[in-house]
Structure 1
């Protein structure tokens, strides 16, 4: 799956290897998981005052509206925490370093982390 980080320079970028979270998702796909979409952050959103904030706001709105049971994303500066709290979702944040960061687009290697939000604690 392409990783663009909302950058035209990375629009067709495809990771050379799977991140450990992708390997886990592939395991779930083989067990019957269906991916229903891929979201990206909004750099200049026209409805910015109505957004729950954070780069994962669209994903979390989809979960809150029950379009999807969960979202997997990356966070640097509370881009998953803020929308999750405003959409009354649960966030599961692993310790930095427990999940590979090798193929994410980092802003800060000390802060970037892969994690998920959902309507329940799964």
Structure 2
């Protein structure tokens, strides 16, 4: 028997999409968990070069952009790439639609749920406590 049998693709438990009901909408939005690879790709696009000390360029991470992009990537329903939906808000692009469609509090709820279902919200302290028990 293989020592890594539980890691084979067919044996891995799938994380299900999550439903999040926001008060302003009749339908819930559907969020999917993001893989590490997807988060890495998004992260790479969230660095900016800014002038630093003595004119040297420094790479700076844009946390706001990262949070917005992981939320946008996670939303399955409604389809933020839908042209009709974008036109109804007078914008082009999923990220611009996200900015118009959701209020700040709603965006925070979405981010919280995305981090939860993607396993980002588990702190090292939580894992240590779980291991102790």
TM-score computed with the length of structure 1 as normaliser:
0.26
Greater fraction of residues in helix: 2
Larger radius of gyration between Structure 1 and Structure 2: 2
TM norm structure 2? 0.24
